[in-house]
Amino acid sequence: MLLPGSIVFAALMGFAIQRGATCTVAAVDEVVNQRRAQRLGSLAEAALWVGLGALLLRHAGWQVPLPMGHEAGWRTVLGGVLLGGGAYVNRACVFGAIARWSNGEWAYVATPLGFFVGCWLFLRVLASMAAPVSPQMAPALALPGWAVVLLVVVLVVRVSVGGLRAWSRTSCETSTRSIFQRARHMAAALWRPAPATIVIGLSFLAMMLMAGPWAYTELLSEWAAGMARETWMRALLAAALFGGAALGGWRAGKWTWHLRGRVPASLWLRCLLGGAFMGLGSLLIPGGNDGLILVGMPLLWPYAWLAFGSMCLTIAGLMACQKLTQ
């Protein structure tokens, strides 16, 4: 494990999560209430960057560690429903909990704790329901060469067009400023939701090379099982992830070092309960939405896409029910 580099990219990933306000709940809310899918598309694009990057690196001779997949079935759907229900109760997925905690919403400290509790309960009560491991290799490895080339072209065009639009918009907004000021303004635009999500994907890809496929929810589930491997190293990566998010919140002026009044107990309970539901769902699938988006979906595992789809539909359904009852 290349620890120093992994820590840097983990911190960058946390910073991007905070600045981009990355969250599956926010993405689904955008679809339901604004009839737009920009955030959801960005999450899918992040998965594409990770998957395509891993394939290109393997073709170039790099040893990219890829995890085994799992069978898709009723467990996958039920796990996705629990994951979505937990995220809805929590009002943020595991990504969004980081973003909201780093914005000074202190109740979201309870979300990882709840996730741990949910994993602990599953392993001691429902362990026999765990999905079996798939004997097949990752479907992404079977993609023909022309498909990989086509995806590369699509991403190159996407980045080029996006970069030109951002530069044009920046030039119009800062026409009287120097080129260095324009570049600085454009760099600030990097932390908008769409590009920030891409930064998350690329940071994760770099961490995959250095430390293997890694997600902080995976660390919590391993702690719950009492069998975490390289625990202290992975804990350092988790600390760097949260530290990067905290830095993003501080730079944005959203950190307060004192509580402005007490946080209601109901908020702590909501985040704890939401985290617990997400923990249960993540082991039933298995995989939290961070692992699904950044590991399972890029490798085109059907269970990952089915679980994430079930999660999104559950969140959308609960939002629709809430609107009907208002």
pLDDT tens across 275-325, in order?
999 999 999 998 888 889 888 898 999 999 999 999 999 999 999 999 888
Site of tokens 């298995």: 286
Q: Is 227 helix (H, G, I), strand (E, B) or coil?
A: coil
Taking the alpha carbons of 83, 87, 90, 96 in that order, is the dihedral positive or negative? positive
Mean local confidence (pLDDT), 52-79: 86
Taking the alpha carbons of 124, 268, 98, 277 in that order, is the dihedral positive or negative? positive
Q: How many domains does the chain have?
A: 1
The pLDDT, as a whole number, for residue 317 is 96
Q: Is the Cβ–Cβ distance between 293 and 308 less than 8 Å? A: yes
Q: Is the Cβ–Cβ distance between 244 and 18 less than 8 Å? A: yes
The pLDDT, as a whole number, for residue 305 is 95
Domain that holds residue 60: 3-255+264-325
Residue 71 confidence (pLDDT) above 70: yes
Most confident of 24-33, 156-165, 219-228: 24-33
| pLDDT tens track for 171-211 | 555 555 555 555 555 555 566 767 788 888 889 888 888 87
Q: Is the Cβ–Cβ distance between 234 and 219 less than 8 Å? A: yes
Q: Is the Cβ–Cβ distance between 88 and 273 less than 8 Å? A: no
The pTM of the full predicted model, rounded to 2 decimals, is 0.86
Structure tokens at 76: 């996958």
Instruction: Collect all residues with Cβ–Cβ distance below 8 Å to 311 and sequence separation of at least 6.
Output: 24, 80, 81, 83, 84, 87, 281, 289, 292
The pLDDT, as a whole number, for residue 258 is 47
Give the type of residue at 179. Answer: I
Mean local confidence (pLDDT), 117-143: 89
| pLDDT tens track for 228-247 | 665 777 888 889 999 999 99
CA dist 286 and 279 (Å) reads: 10
pLDDT over 70 percentage in the chain: 87
Residue 41 confidence (pLDDT) above 60: yes
Structure tokens at 174: 């800062």
